[in-house]
A and B are shown apart, each in its own frame.
Chain A
Amino acid sequence: MPMGRFRSLSTRLTVQFALLFAVAMLGVSAALSTFIAGSASRHVAEQLQSSGAVYDRLWQQRSRELQNAAQLLARDFGFRAAVASADAPTIQSALDNAAARLKVRSAFIVSADGRVTSIDGGISPRETERLWAPLDEGRLTGVSVLAGRPRQIVAAPVMAPNLIGWVVFAPTLEGREMRSLERLSAIPLHAAVLARSGGAWTEAAGSVSVLSPQAAASAERHMATGATFQMKVAGEKSIVLAKPLPAFAPGERAMLMLTYSKAQALADARVLQAALAVMTLLGLLLMGFATWRAAGRITQPLARLDEAAGRLASGEHVQVRVRGSDELARLAASFNEMVGRIVEREQRITQLAFNDVLTGLPNRTMFHQQLDQLFRTSEANGSLFALHCLDLDQFKVINDTLGHPAGDALLIETAQRLRHVARGHFVGRLGGDEFVVLQSVGVDRDAIDRLARDIIAAITVPVTIDGNEFVPSTSIGIAIAPDDGRDGGTLLRNADLALYRAKEAGRGTYAFFEESLNKRAQERRQLEADLRLALERGEFELHYQPLFDLEKNRVCSFEALLRWNHPKRGQISPVDFVPVAEDTGLIVAIGAWVIREACAQAARWPADVRIAVNVSPVQFHRGALHETILRALAASGLEPGRLEVEITESIFLEGSETTLRLLHALRTLGVRVALDDFGTGYSSLSYLQSFPFDKLKIDRSFIHNLLTRDGASAIVRAITELAHALNIETTAEGVEETAQLVELRAHGCSSVQGFLFAEPMTVSDVEQLFRDDRLGIRNVA
């Protein structure tokens, strides 16, 4: 890296560019400055040159003036006479006169034989004798040093008629003329004439002080070129022009020196340069600032990104603001997107860890965390909270008949409904169709009931899955902390027990945990274990309840009813163990045994007596029922037409297509099919239309209320009429009173079943019945 190691890009950019610009600006400024100084110098040089030219003109003018005067004097007859006759007083007065007119102090006559008559006592004859040779040579003008001062020598020969001498004017090159020259110049220069006779350069009354030998040498060197040069004059750097002036005598040198103080010459330039310097400085500052700003504009987003990245690394989720649409903005946008992705991924990981993939609800892990949290809160402030445990009624059935995708869809739907109905509470899925809701409760315990009811109501809204509409339902078990458990495990167990109770109480309801439920749960587990052994031990037996045909007035059929003789607990009602058998799947084996047993028994009965067997939906859908029946019929040799399979409408819950296929398959065997418990649960007339049932068994609840409730009678009538229209037999269950029988007869019921006629009986009792030939109905109105 060529630059130093900057921690900040902004600094680096600023420094780099500022340096670059600075170099450029300084370069330009230096060039400009040099140009300004140069042009100022040039200007001064030009001024000096023109002043030099002016001085030349002045010099010549003065020279001419003096010469004219000298010539005029030299021609004057009287003067010539005076000179020729060396008439000193006359000569002097004439010279005085001319000198006064010309404002010259030094004038003299040099005669051809070298004699001098002068009006200036300051000039020694020896000095003037020097002039004779150049005068004799014919020189008439020039500069010479006399009496230690440079003078402009102007001479005119005196002819009388031959050359007898020269009139010489020798004015000092003094300040006055220099001043006038200086005044003529556009710039305030200093002019001086310097002359050298032998040794040093001496100066007339110019304004230049005596030159040092070096300076003089320098001036002499430059005199030839006619160019301006720079040197120190009187200790001050100056721009100088040296012009040679004609020297009068050999060995003498003269020059006009025009000097101009460099400081003065460059004063304006200096002002300009100062302004330029200020501008440059301002420019640099501005440039620095602009660069800093620009760098900031570039690097600020980068710095923000840097900071954001740092914060991202430390686990924060930050978004940077995106401004504009340049690369930086795109970078920022990409960063945001990346953060978004990371957040998403983290959420996904978190979800995978704490959420259920299918429904997106919190999973068991998270539920336990939440539970612990609530326990801590509850301990801290003594608040209550309720745990609702729920599962979907008949979910297994749905899953098994419609397949897993349908089951998953139902679970997702359920989760959504729960989320909605239990807003503000924790909703989780523990697995399968098990859901939980954690509800913080204030003083109002009724809120728990309200929520439970709301949940049930929300779940029991009909749902369409795979084009099949059905109504799900749920049962809820509720445990309240801290009363029903001081830790999560206990609370959950107890809520589960409450759930079983709710299921027992009839599905689609809720129950609270009570301690007794614990016992029942243990009992049930025991029951399950015993149930597994019951078949092997042959603890089951069938009892048969006769059905009376109201037209033929005789027993037309027996319903096989399962009985379990438990070795310790004695007889256990099917109500107590069948659900357990269904839940565990044991019902398949037990059911198969029932069919075999019933067929075997019925085969020994009169041929006009049928046997009815209850088939559970579990058997129906998972028990290879068709095969079981086929084998039972084959083994017993029973006429298929004498076997009646009783199913409940709940089998249609798992999809009517497959159910109907199975029913038709049974039909093909010749087996009769009866619809049990008709009028309760999921009654749907479409079932009646979709399958030609042989019999409808009207549920005992209608019969029980037949005489007491108005509606019951109407329903029974409607069912019988409907069945009649569809050419389906009807059996009324649970007939206990004669009045009921009379009413049923009036409605045109095909057959009846109940304690009014006979309770369920053992095989031996049935056989006894056949032996006694007591198949007719007695005491029946």
Chain B
Amino acid sequence: MVRIILGSVTALALAAPAVAAPLAVRVVDAAGKPVRDAVVTFYPNGQARAPRAGGRYVISQKDLQFHPFLAVVPVGAEVSFPNLDNTRHHVYSFSPAKRFELKLFAKDQSRAVRFDRAGVVPLGCNIHDQMTAFVVVTDSVWTARTNAQGVAAFADTPGGPGRVTVWHPYLRAPGGKLQQALAAGQTRLNFSARLRPPAPAMHTDY
């Protein structure tokens, strides 16, 4: 059984400074609906704290899908990629954060990849186009995913000034992320994100 440790806010917030401030970031789409599973990261100015890398992370391939679809891991985390399908998989990522290729040609074959740079690592399978997953390698402890209300709340942050970035697998934005400055004393930020519908499986005929 693979333990999947999610970089939870509480876990990351243990190393919060004495002076703590709450921060709530709300992400809505163009229609004003809350966007869940957006990854919100807060970088206080000059007081960045990288999360502690530890634990094992697993992204399995089962039923021609990556599981989980979205994984937030700290910098330096090692993620193993077990193939639970009968088919072969050719897992790759061309992301600047981590370029790798894993040719998993047998069932139960498992390989591990170490993500040592912060950034978003999209995963694909060269054999199965529809297989996509994202690994968000974060270097900030204030990293959280928005809930069903589109809110990511941080109980204790150093407070502003700083910057908040928002990333989402389907986000449409130059550079692939949204970013706003957090002023001192500011505890709330609202993001409006334009989302792409999930990419359809591409057909060769059109």
Instruction: Tell me which residues across on chain B come within 8 A of A112, comparing CB atoms.
Output: 176
Task: Return the CB mask of A96-136 against B: 1 if under 8 Å, else 0.
Answer: 00000000000000001110000000000000000000001
Bound Cα distance from A328 to B131, whole angstroms? 108
Determine how close the nearest CB of chain A comes to the CB of B71; give it in whole angstroms. 14
A85 interface contact, C-beta 8 A: yes
Complex interface: chain B residues within 8 A of A80 (CB): 94
Segment 70-109 of A: residues with Cβ below 8 Å from B: 71, 75, 77, 80-81, 83-85
Q: Which residues from chain A contact B93 at a C-beta distance below 8 Å? A: 160
Q: Is the CB of A161 within 8 A of B122?
A: yes
Docked CA distance A164–B93 (Å): 11
Selected contact of A162 from candidates B132, B174, B175, CB within 8 Å: B132
Proximity bits, B114-141, A CB within 8 Å = 1, else 0: 0000000011111001011010000000
Interface centre among A67, A81, A83, A161 (most CB of B within 10 A): A161
**A84 touches which of B95, B123, B134 (Cβ 8 Å):** B95
**Is B88's CB within 8 Å of the partner chain A?**
no
B74 within 8 A of A: no
A163 interface contact, C-beta 8 A: yes
B199/A67 in contact, CB under 8 A? no
Whether B206 and A67, one on each chain, are in contact in the complex, defined by CB atoms closer than 8 angstroms, is yes
- From B94, B123, B172, B176, contact of A85 by CB (8 A): B94
Q: Indicate if the CB atoms of B94 and A159 lie closer than 8 Å.
A: no
Q: Tell whether, in the assembled complex, residue A81 and residue B94 are in contact, meaning their CB atoms are under 8 Å apart.
A: yes
> Is A64 at the interface (CB under 8 A from chain B)?
yes
Is B122 within 8 A of A160, CB to CB? Answer: yes
- Measured between beta carbons, the chain A residues less than 8 angstroms from B92 are 77, 81, 160
Are A113 and B204 touching (Cβ within 8 A)? no
Q: How far is the CA of A769 from the CA of B95 in the complex (A)?
A: 212
Contact B175 A161 (CB under 8 A): no
A77, B175: Cα distance in complex, Å:
22
Q: Please count how many residues in chain A sit with their CB below 8 Å of the partner chain's CB atoms.
A: 23
Residues of B within 8 A of A75 (CB): 129, 202
Whether A68 is near chain B, meaning CB under 8 Å from some CB there, is: yes
B-contact 0/1 string along A261-299, CB 8 Å cutoff: 000000000000000000000000000000000000000
- Once bound together, how far apart are the Cα atoms of A160 and B124, in whole Å? 6
Closest to A140 in B: B206
**Which of A71, A114, A136 sits near B202, CB closer than 8 Å?**
A71
The reply to whether B126 and A77 form a contact with Cβ atoms under 8 Å apart is: yes
Give the most central of B94, B122, B126, B169: most A CB within 10 Å. Answer: B94
CB contacts between A and B, total, < 8 Å: 53
* Residue B99 at the chain A interface, CB threshold 8 Å: yes
CB-nearest residue of chain A relative to B91?
A: A161
A137 to B, closest residue via Cβ: B172
Question: Can you name the residue of chain A whose Cβ is closest to the Cβ of B203?
Answer: A71
Specify which chain B residues have a CB less than 8 angstroms from the CB of A164 in the assembled complex: 94
Is B174 in contact with A113, judged by CB distance below 8 angstroms? yes
Residues of B within 8 A of A83 (CB): 94
- B122 engages A162 (CB within 8 Å): yes
Measured between beta carbons, the chain A residues less than 8 angstroms from B132 are: 161-162
Cα–Cα distance between A68 and B169 once the two chains are bound (Å): 27
Considering only CB atoms and an 8 Å cut-off, how many residues of chain B contact the other chain?
25
Cβ contact within 8 Å between B175 and A113: yes
In the bound complex, residues from chain A placing their C-beta under 8 Å from that of B126 are 77
- B94 adjacent to A84 (CB under 8 Å): yes
List of A residues within 8 angstroms of B124 by Cβ: 159-162
Instruction: Say yes or no: B99 contacts A159, CB within 8 Å.
Output: no
Which residues in chain A, 44-86, are within 8 Å of chain B measured between CB atoms?
64, 67-68, 71, 75, 77, 80-81, 83-85
Q: Which residues of A contact B204 (CB under 8 A)?
A: 68, 71
Q: A81-B94, A112-B176, A164-B94 are in contact. Are A159 and B206 (CB under 8 A)?
A: no
Bound CA span A52–B19, Å:
73
Are B172 and A136 closer than 8 Å at their CB atoms?
Answer: yes
Q: Is the CB of A163 within 8 A of B202?
A: no
Contact between B95 and A161, CB atoms less than 8 A apart: no
Contact between A161 and B174, CB atoms less than 8 A apart: no
A162 to B202, CA, bound (A): 12
Query: Once the chains bind, are A85 and B129 in contact (CB under 8 Å)?
Result: no
Report the minimum CB–CB distance from B9 to chain A (whole Å). Answer: 25
The answer to whether A85 and B99 touch across the interface, beta carbons within 8 angstroms, is yes
Q: Let me know if B176 and A159 touch, CB within 8 A.
A: no
For A67, the chain B residues whose CB sits under 8 A away are 206
Which residues of A sit under 8 angstroms from B172, Cβ to Cβ?
136
Which residues of A159-176 have CB atoms within 8 Å of chain B's CB atoms? 159-164
Kindly provide the distance from the CB of A72 to the nearest chain B CB, expressed in whole angstroms: 8
Task: Give bound CA distance, A215 to B93, whole Å.
Answer: 54
The distance in angstroms between the C-alpha atoms of A208 and B77, with both chains bound, is 64
A330–B167 CA distance with the chains assembled, in angstroms? 116
Which chain B residue has the least Cβ–Cβ distance from A85?
Answer: B94
CA distance A136 to B175 in the complex (A): 12
Q: Would you call B175 and A159 a contact (CB within 8 A)?
A: no
Q: Which residues of A sit under 8 angstroms from B125, Cβ to Cβ?
A: 161
Taking a contact as CB atoms closer than 8 A, the residue among A64, A114, A138, A159 that contacts B174 in the complex is A114
Bound-state Cα–Cα, A161 to B199, Å: 10
B134:A162 contact, CB within 8 angstroms = yes
Measured CA separation A157–B172 after assembly (Å): 14
Q: Are B199 and A162 in contact (CB under 8 A)?
A: yes
Instruction: Tell me the minimal C-beta distance from B106 to chain A in angstroms.
Output: 20
**Complex-state Cα separation, A80 to B99, whole angstroms:** 12
What distance in Å separates the Cβ of A157 from its nearest Cβ neighbour in chain B? 8
Docked Cα-Cα span, A81 to B129, in Å, equals: 15
A159 to B94, CA, bound (A): 10
The chain B residues found within 8 Å of chain A, CB to CB, are 92-96, 99, 122-126, 129, 131-132, 134, 169, 172, 174-176, 196, 199, 202, 204, 206
Q: 18 more A-B contacts (CB under 8 A) besides A81-B94, A160-B93?
A: A68-B204, A71-B202, A75-B129, A81-B92, A84-B94, A84-B95, A85-B94, A85-B96, A113-B176, A136-B172, A138-B196, A159-B129, A159-B199, A160-B92, A161-B122, A162-B124, A163-B199, A164-B94
6 CB < 8 A contacts A-B: A67-B206, A71-B204, A84-B94, A159-B124, A161-B131, A164-B94
Give the B-binding residues of A (Cβ under 8 A).
64, 67-68, 71, 75, 77, 80-81, 83-85, 112-114, 136, 138, 157, 159-164
